[in-house]
């Protein structure tokens, strides 16, 4: 008996020392020696991350516990719904894909893990075929592999994975993630409390250069800009106040990044899964975010759950049809179905996008009617009041003097400064003006004597000096 324990001690020590000293252990950066850097740069191109570094790191590497102190002591109910984890991939690297799978299996209580589903979106790499199939057979949790017959894009691949899943909750992850200790319980607990809440972890950053693991912030949440790009913004004061300053409580977020979230299985179906008409990549995250909020659900970042993701600066794979075309098409689909008259802001800022054929969205419009979803103006007023999109407006475009062909131009200046007059360039930018509702803060005011032609932007006063005659203003691209 004594010997046994002693042997165990030795083993344990061996494991711990390996874990703390190997490359990338505890989430540390992996630095490649000078001599190998040429090779490293070559390999980088394959996945647009440092494949050499990733391949040096153990598939089950250790990570730091980056949670807030208050999260470490939280107790969750014993009876939580279980989840299927769906991971879609196209030509993913072996080490990142398997590290994702190991981190799920090793850091989730197994009674909460129904299965892991890998959906191969028509990858062309041999090791992702039979070698992968044989490898996952030996893992402790059932891992199912589904193959798309042809390249379908992440949206339709996720739909396939979701349809095959059996868990009460579906958790989606990208194929280059690492889950940290305690990541799953807070997500499932929140869904148990309210099945119409869709939850995201804090997405930590795994460096694409060194694979260093860096904690993400609980002080940022998801928004978007007029081009319909997802963006991170600071959590506004109103949301801090709502949570009474308790940073361990979930943050209500206007949008999600898209790759990492959990959703009640039945609710996923009730709310209309995904728009299967969207191709390859992009747009589905905002589409789902708007849909959840407008149709009676809510979207949160559960700040006690941390999952890392390799953020890349460029995409490693092809976009059949062209990158711009695919993304514009997906964005048009979401704008046409969910954004009502506010879609015009997107169209004005992205000239050319209106020419992109977005196919048939009638099924999605019917879904919106059936679910009796609220208008986009409600979403902007109530969920995203800090949006850059002006919520009350009459019109958006350039103000052109048809005689001289010159346009009002804010010349990049700030509030209460003069606006300028410049040749119309039709590119938006500083010449994109909105004529705001009288309640908004700034209005064009008449030029003073010495300024001759040039009006200024002033707080709206409603006086005659701020009244302008607007003729032939057109809205649209
Ligand atoms: C972000 C999301 C991503 C998705 C995307 C918008 C995070 C961390 N990531 O981009 O999940 O919402 O925004 O669409 O929030 N893939 C396929 N087939 C394809 C293309 C991609 O299966 O045709 C896989 C890919 O291997 C990966 C996942 O889809 O596992 C997401 O793709 P990405 O990692 O290139 O997207 P990312 O992180 O830039
Ligand atoms: Mn990704």
Residues 6 or more apart whose Cβ sits within 8 Å of residue 256: 198, 200, 222, 230, 285, 288, 289, 299, 301
State the closest ligand 1 atom to the C-alpha of 91, by its place in the atom list counted from 1. 26
Q: How far is the CA of 423 from the centre of ligand 1 (A)?
A: 42
Q: By alpha-carbon position, which residue is closest to atom 19 of ligand 1?
A: 153
Q: By alpha-carbon position, which residue is closest to atom 3 of ligand 1?
A: 259
Q: pLDDT, tens digit, for every residue of 235-287?
A: 999 999 999 999 999 999 999 999 999 999 999 999 999 999 999 999 999 99
Label residue 15 by pLDDT band (50, 70, 90): very low
For 400-476, give the CATH class. Answer: mainly beta
Q: pLDDT, tens digit, for every residue of 280-322?
A: 999 999 999 999 999 999 999 999 999 999 999 999 999 998 9
Q: How far is the CA of 120 from the centre of ligand 1 (A)?
A: 13
pLDDT of residue 445: 72
Averaged confidence pLDDT in the chain? 88
Name all residues whose Cβ lies below 6 A of ligand 1. 88-90, 92, 121, 151, 153-154, 157, 174-175, 203, 257-260, 280-282, 284-285, 309, 315, 317
Label residue 387 by pLDDT band (50, 70, 90): confident
More confident call, 397 vs 386: 386
Proportion of the chain above pLDDT 90, given as a percent: 73
Q: By alpha-carbon position, which residue is closest to atom 35 of ligand 1?
A: 315
State the closest ligand 1 atom to the C-alpha of 88, by its place in the atom list counted from 1. 22
Q: By alpha-carbon position, which residue is closest to atom 21 of ligand 1?
A: 154
Q: How far is the CA of 418 from the centre of ligand 2 (A)?
A: 44
Q: By alpha-carbon position, which residue is closest to atom 25 of ligand 1?
A: 89
Label residue 460 by pLDDT band (50, 70, 90): low
The average pLDDT across 170-183 equals 98
Q: How far is the CA of 257 from the centre of ligand 2 (A)?
A: 10
For 9-15+37-310, give the CATH class. Answer: alpha beta
Q: pLDDT, tens digit, for every residue of 399-457?
A: 777 677 788 777 776 666 677 788 887 766 666 665 554 334 566 777 666 655 667 77
Q: How far is the CA of 177 from the centre of ligand 2 (A)?
A: 8
Ligand 1 pocket test, candidate residues 104, 259, 278, 285, most atoms within 8 A of CB: 259
Q: pLDDT, tens digit, for every residue of 105-130?
A: 999 999 999 999 999 999 999 999 99
Domain extent listing, the chain:
9-15+37-310, 323-382, 400-476
Q: Which CATH number applies to 323-382?
A: 1.10.8.460
């Amino acid at each position: 008996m004594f010997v046994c324990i002693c042997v165990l001690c030795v083993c344990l020590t061996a494991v711990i020392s390996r874990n703390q000293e190997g490359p990338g252990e505890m989430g540390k950066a992996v630095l490649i020696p000078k001599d190998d850097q040429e090779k490293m740069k070559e390999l980088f191109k394959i996945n647009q991350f440092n494949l050499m570094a990733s391949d040096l790191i153990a598939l089950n590497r250790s990570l730091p516990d980056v949670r807030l102190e208050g999260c470490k002591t939280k107790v969750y109910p014993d009876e939580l719904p279980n989840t299927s984890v769906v991971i879609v991939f196209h030509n993913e690297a072996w080490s990142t894909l398997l590290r994702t799978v190991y981190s799920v299996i090793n850091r989730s209580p197994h009674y909460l893990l129904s299965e892991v589903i890998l959906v191969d979106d028509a990858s062309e790499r041999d090791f992702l075929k039979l070698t992968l199939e044989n490898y996952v057979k030996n893992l402790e949790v059932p891992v199912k592999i589904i193959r798309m017959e042809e390249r379908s894009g992440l949206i339709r691949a996720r739909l396939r994975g979701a349809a095959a899943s059996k868990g009460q909750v579906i958790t989606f992850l990208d194929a280059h993630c690492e889950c940290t200790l305690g990541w799953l319980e807070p997500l499932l607990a929140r869904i148990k409390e309210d099945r119409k809440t869709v939850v995201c972890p804090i997405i930590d950053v795994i460096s694409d250069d060194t694979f260093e693991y860096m904690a993400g912030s609980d002080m940022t949440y998801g928004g978007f800009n007029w081009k319909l790009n997802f963006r991170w913004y600071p959590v506004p004061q109103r949301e801090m106040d709502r949570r009474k300053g308790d940073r361990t409580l979930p943050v209500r977020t206007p949008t999600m990044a898209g790759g990492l979230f959990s959703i009640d299985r039945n609710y996923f179906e009730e709310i209309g899964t995904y728009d299967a008409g969207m191709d390859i990549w992009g747009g589905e995250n905002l589409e789902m975010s708007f849909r959840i909020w407008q149709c009676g659900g809510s979207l949160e970042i559960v700040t006690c759950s941390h999952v890392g993701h390799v953020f890349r600066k460029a995409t490693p794979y092809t976009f059949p049809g062209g990158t711009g075309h695919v993304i514009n098409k997906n964005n048009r689909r979401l704008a046409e179905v969910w954004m009502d008259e506010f879609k015009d802001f997107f169209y004005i800022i992205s000239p050319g996008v209106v020419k992109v054929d977005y196919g048939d969205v009638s099924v999605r419009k019917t879904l919106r009617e059936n679910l009796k979803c609220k208008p986009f103006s409600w979403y902007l007023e109530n969920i995203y009041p800090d949006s850059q999109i002006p919520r009350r407006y009459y019109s958006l475009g350039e103000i052109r003097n048809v005689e001289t062909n010159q346009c009002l131009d804010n010349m990049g200046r700030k509030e209460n400064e003069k606006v300028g007059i410049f040749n119309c360039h039709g590119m938006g930018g500083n010449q994109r003006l909105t004529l705001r509702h009288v309640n908004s803060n700034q209005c064009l005011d008449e030029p003073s004597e010495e300024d001759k032609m040039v009006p200024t932007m002033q707080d709206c006063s409603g006086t005659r000096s701020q009244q302008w005659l607007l003729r032939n203003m057109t809205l649209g691209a």
